[in-house]
Structure formats: C-alpha cells, structure tokens
A and B are shown apart, each in its own frame.
Chain A
C-alpha cells in the first residue's frame, strides 16, 4: 500500500513540471489568463511572476496563455479554448475590441467570470459584462503626470510619440497637456521608432524651440534616444524630463538625475489583483465596487533602489 502511495506521489511529482506552476492548497478553483503579448515581449514576464505569486498565496490554480506571434486572431481562439475548458474565471485584455468582444462575451454568457486587465476601457468592460478592469487609464495617468509637472513649475513641453498610430498612447500626451492646463497643439512630435531618427528629431525640436521646459517620452523606445539627445546637448539635469514605463536606461537616468520621474503602470498589480479578486469573489462573494487603477506609480530617485532590485521580476 505504502509502495503505491509513493508511486502515486512520484507520478505527481513527475507531472508537476508539465502542469502549472502554482500549487493548489485548495484546487477547486482555476483561473486562466490570456494575454495579447507575443513570446518575445519581456515586459509580460512580470505579469507571469505576479500571477504565479497570487496563485500560490490564494491557493488557486492559475495558467498563463498567449498567442506565440502576438496575432490577435489567434488570441481570440485561445480565449474560446479557455472558455471550453471550463475554468472558474478568465483574466484577459481587450487589445482589439472588434476581434475579442465575441469570444469574451461568449465566455461571460457561459457563466465564466471575466476580469479585464492592462488594455481596455471601463465602457468596454461594462459592455462585455466583465466584473472589473485593472489597469492604467492612459489619459488619467498623463493628467496626474501633468499636474505633478505643473506643481514643479513646468509651463511648456514636448511629447515624443514613437507610436503615433496608437490612439491610446497619444492619450498620455493629451492628459499631460490638460494636467499642465495648456493646449497640446504642436507639442506632440511623431518621432518614428528608429533610435537615430528619434534622437535627431528631439534635438531639432529643442534647437528650434529653446524655451521648452519639459520633455515627456512615452516608453523606453522614445526615452532611450532622448536621454542621449539631452546628454549631447548638455541639457541633462537642466531640462525637466519625465517618461512612461521603465527600463534599464531609464532607471540609470533617474539615478543620474537626467530623468525626474518614470511612470510605472505596475504590471504586478494588473496580474496579482485579478486573481485575488476572483478567488475572493468565488469564495466569499465579495467584489470591489469599482475598477482599479494599477498606475500611475511614480518612480523617482527616492524609491529607485527597490525598483532596480526587482526590475524584470516584479517591477
């Protein structure tokens, strides 16, 4: 008898690496996260870690799934698949409402609780019948940053937009302008995604508009070349410089004093909170009354050490 028990245990141990990371204390609850990120996107590693941590702490099974190439049509199939496997809840993003609305609504109608994280709007969440949204509303994040900059005495700015095609990203600039209480006008420049071009456009803009108080970059893609640009122009530390999202160069620039603050949308919370909310909803029927803003969290020279220590893992 003991032998069989050992055998069964060994078999379980063998299957562990193939099963999901989070070990269940009470494994009647299982949740699936479906992201829109391709395998190559390192930013989502934080999401995976936070998801596993939440699974361990809450004693539920969580799984992470994504379309390997980032193809959203494939993502729709994965959501359909997740719904077919009958989990207690699905955590997903609304990367493209047209493509994903159908599969998400089917899952909701089937009786599966859905929480939207990262991408989406409160209106879409309501329309889809999802429980809540956990993410950083981009306009509000820009607004908060603008108000902070206004408090620091900024009156004009340039917004370096490396993804002009994405209206959500541009909302960050709009919010920032509104927070400062000025017109956006021509302060948003389309920089393209090539580092050399970004650097040269920023230098050109600052040369033709020498009275610019502040620079806002919308992510590492535009921030890194801009750091070089201000360093070469001798403006590092002199011009007010804020950025969205974090990365190794941005962290270093914050330590050097080139960048005043980086806005962290705190992906950790975007993965961690939905699991906690779903588990408590299923167990005790409690649900927060509103959407949760995971950001903006401001990273400055004062709190940079903790961020640096956990960068890529939980931050």
Chain B
C-alpha cells in the first residue's frame, strides 16, 4: 500500500481540460441566451420603464412563474418523461382551493393542504400508469390534461353555476399558510427605498406615499427555493444520479440497481407539486380561481426547459439551465411589450427567439460533447 503513489491516474477516465469541463455544462446555452436577451432589451427598451423597479418586478414575477413549473418539468424530463397535464393541473388546483376554501368554507390552510394532497395523488397516478403500462407519458398525461380540465369546469358549474369563483383573498385573510403563497416580504426595505427616492411612489389614491413596489412576492421566493432544492437534489445526491440514470437508459439503470419506477413516479409527484405551488400563489394573489387558468402552461414549461439545454429524450439537462430558460422566456415575453412591438407580431418574435435559442443550444452541445 505504501508504495502506491497517492495520485493514481485511472486509465478509464479520460483527461479533460478544465476549460472544456467548464463548457460541457447543459446550462451554457442558457447563460449565453440570457446575456443575449438582456443585451437586446437593454439596447431596445432601456428607456421604457423595463428596468425601473416596477418593470423589473413585472418580468421577474412572470419569469418566476415559468421557473416554478420549469423546475418540475426539468427533473421529470431528465428522468425521461413528460407531463402535459401541468396547465390543467394549475387550473384544477386553483379551483379546488376555491371550492374548499370559499364554497365549502373550510379554513384556508386545510383547503391548501388537501388540494396539495389531491394534486400530488393525480401526479402519482400519472406516474403509476406510465410505469405499469409502459405507455408513453405523452399520451397518458394528455388524457390527464383533458380529465383535469373537465373537472375544473364541471365542479364549479355544478356547485356554484359559474366558472369563476372569487372571494379567496377575503377567505384567506390572516391565514398562516396562505401568507406563505400570497404575501410579499421585504416591505420595510422597499418603503425605505421609496422614501429615499430610489423607486417611485404612488402619487394619489389611498396608497399615496407607498412605494410602487412594496415587496418581493412569495412567488419569487418559491421559485428560488425550488431551484435550489432541484439543483442540489440533481447534482449533489445519489437520488440525482438515479434521475439521470432513469432517463438515460432505464434498462441499464435497472440492472445497476436503480429503482427506476420509484424515481419516475416521484418525479411525476414533484411536477404536480410545482404546478400546485404555481396555482396556490396565483389564486392567493388574484383572489379568484377560473376554469380557464393555466391554458398552455405545460408547453411553456417544456419550452423553458429545452431552452435551458435539457434533452427532450431525457438523461441530460440541468435545473439551473431550466431556470435560465424560464428567465429568458419571461424577459422576452414581457420585454416585447416594453419594446413596443406591434402586438400581432408578438408570437412571431417569440417563436423566432425560441428557435434561435434552441438551435444555438443544440449546436453548442454537439460541438462540445462530440455527439452527432
């Protein structure tokens, strides 16, 4: 033992330069895209209010929304599966909170917890069906998309004869759990900024003197917490390796002793959890749940994840990349409004920018990883 040199060079590990190592990261495309997008809007919309306090809050809130669902979609996609029911889940979860908390009058924290339980059960059901039947998750969750959207319209129609249920804000007043989703933090700091003249204040109405931005919404805090959690889970734990393995080659992973089925089901549950967080923040902020909430959000989540460098086929990707993808998406979407782009051209711009981001990503990845 003593005569073995300390630094044994394992012949199975190829020597990679640190420079190259830094480049072989799924989030590289996301980083480049983020820089490009911010440069673009800094040039085009710098004097439009996009970069004052209110403007920053606006696009960061929209980005944070995308981030919350992108983290779930990202981990699930790395594990090799899709969830198309995210958008419907958002509408469904919001409606459940409204039904339990307003129509049935339960305490809001119970309504929220029960909703989380129901939605995560639906997530688990998605996972179990996919794993047991071996059907593509695309089809299974497409069915869930319709089922959940159907319930979201049917239940309030039957109970209340309308498809929008309001009064959630009043029902949630003073509730400890609701405050975790709907409130803002850092108010004194923003008041101080407002008093100091750093950010604008309301100049009329009963909020005169208050700063136009009165805190960081909990939505943004949730986004950060989920990103940090997802990143650590994926890159620093054994479970993270299992996620990559399950999505890379499920059969090989099974031979190596990875509980592939459990990993996939848990990721479906986590995606449902993220969708429910999104929905809860939304109903707490806006005070009403509508049957048409969350339409097409599943695609927005997938787009953010793909911009962030994940492979649609699974086994490759990063949470930080997905978060950057969500940031790009949010900034582009709101930034185009700030840049005064004619609104009917909005989708054209969005499509072109998304396409460029994805092509750039794929190109970089191919060069670096040497895959064909």
Chain A residues with a Cβ under 8 A of chain B: 17-21, 39, 63-66, 68-73, 76-78, 80-86, 96-99, 102, 105-106, 108-111, 129, 164-167
Task: Given A97-B166, A98-B286, A129-B205, answer yes or no on A69-B340 (Cβ-Cβ < 8 Å).
Answer: no
The docked-state distance in angstroms from the alpha carbon of A81 to that of B332 is 13
B288 touches A108 (CB 8 A): no
The docked-state distance in angstroms from the alpha carbon of A158 to that of B230 is 58
Q: Mark B308-347, 1 if CB is under 8 A from A, else 0.
A: 0000000000000000000000000010011011110111
The docked-state distance in angstroms from the alpha carbon of A71 to that of B295 is 7
The docked-state distance in angstroms from the alpha carbon of A170 to that of B283 is 26
B342 touches A81 (CB 8 A): no
A166: nearest residue on chain B (CB-CB)? Answer: B162
B residues less than 8 Å from A109 (CB atoms): 202-208
A85 touches B282 (CB 8 A): no
B164: nearest residue on chain A (CB-CB)? Answer: A96
A35: nearest residue on chain B (CB-CB)? Answer: B343
Q: Tell whether B212 is near chain A: CB-to-CB under 8 Å.
A: yes
A85 touches B212 (CB 8 A): no
B287 touches A84 (CB 8 A): no
How many Å from the CB of B280 to the closest CB on chain A?
Answer: 13
The 3 nearest A-B residue pairs measured at CB: A109-B205, A98-B288, A84-B54
Q: What are 22 of the A-B contact pairs (CB < 8 Å)?
A: A18-B345, A19-B340, A20-B342, A68-B346, A69-B295, A71-B293, A71-B295, A72-B292, A73-B293, A76-B286, A80-B57, A81-B59, A83-B54, A84-B50, A84-B338, A85-B48, A85-B50, A85-B55, A109-B207, A109-B208, A111-B204, A129-B205
The docked-state distance in angstroms from the alpha carbon of A310 to that of B187 is 53
Q: A105-B205, A166-B162 are in contact. List 14 more A-B contacts (CB 8 A).
A: A19-B340, A21-B342, A65-B337, A76-B286, A80-B57, A84-B49, A84-B52, A84-B55, A85-B338, A96-B164, A99-B286, A109-B202, A110-B212, A165-B163
Which one of A20, A21, A77, A129 contacts B58 once the chains associate, using CB atoms below 8 Å? A77
Q: Tell whether B61 is near chain A: CB-to-CB under 8 Å.
A: yes
**What is the interface size of chain B, counting residues whose CB is below 8 A from a CB of the partner?**
50
The docked-state distance in angstroms from the alpha carbon of A110 to that of B59 is 19
The docked-state distance in angstroms from the alpha carbon of A62 to that of B55 is 20
The docked-state distance in angstroms from the alpha carbon of A19 to that of B202 is 29
B324-372: which have CB < 8 Å to A?
334, 337-338, 340-343, 345-347
The docked-state distance in angstroms from the alpha carbon of A165 to that of B55 is 36
Task: Given A21-B342, A69-B295, answer yes or no on A165-B337 (Cβ-Cβ < 8 Å).
Answer: no
Q: Tell whether B161 is near chain A: CB-to-CB under 8 Å.
A: yes
B residues less than 8 Å from A98 (CB atoms): 164, 166-169, 286-288
A residues less than 8 Å from B26 (CB atoms): none
B153: nearest residue on chain A (CB-CB)? Answer: A165
B residues less than 8 Å from A21 (CB atoms): 342
The docked-state distance in angstroms from the alpha carbon of A97 to that of B286 is 9
A165 touches B166 (CB 8 A): no
How many Å from the CB of A75 to the closest CB on chain B?
Answer: 10
The docked-state distance in angstroms from the alpha carbon of A84 to that of B49 is 6
B49 touches A86 (CB 8 A): yes
Q: Tell whether B296 is near chain A: CB-to-CB under 8 Å.
A: yes
A73 touches B286 (CB 8 A): yes
Q: Mark B167-205, 1 if CB is under 8 A from A, else 0.
A: 111000000000000000000000000000000101111
B residues less than 8 Å from A108 (CB atoms): 204-205
How many Å from the CB of B219 to the closest CB on chain A?
Answer: 11
How many Å from the CB of B189 to the closest CB on chain A?
Answer: 19
B258-299: which have CB < 8 Å to A?
282, 285-288, 290, 292-296
A111 touches B337 (CB 8 A): no
A102 touches B286 (CB 8 A): yes
A residues less than 8 Å from B343 (CB atoms): 63-66
The docked-state distance in angstroms from the alpha carbon of A5 to that of B291 is 54
A81 touches B334 (CB 8 A): yes
A residues less than 8 Å from B251 (CB atoms): none
Q: Tell whether B235 is near chain A: CB-to-CB under 8 Å.
A: no
A20 touches B340 (CB 8 A): yes
The docked-state distance in angstroms from the alpha carbon of A291 to that of B161 is 30
How many Å from the CB of B301 to the closest CB on chain A?
Answer: 14
A96 touches B288 (CB 8 A): yes
B212-235: which have CB < 8 Å to A?
212
B residues less than 8 Å from A102 (CB atoms): 285-286
A129: nearest residue on chain B (CB-CB)? Answer: B205
B342 touches A18 (CB 8 A): yes
B residues less than 8 Å from A70 (CB atoms): 292, 295
A residues less than 8 Å from B286 (CB atoms): 72-73, 76, 98-99, 102
Q: Mark B27-51, 1 if CB is under 8 A from A, else 0.
A: 0000000000000000000001110
How many Å from the CB of A275 to the closest CB on chain B?
Answer: 16
A residues less than 8 Å from B342 (CB atoms): 17-21
The docked-state distance in angstroms from the alpha carbon of A73 to that of B204 is 25
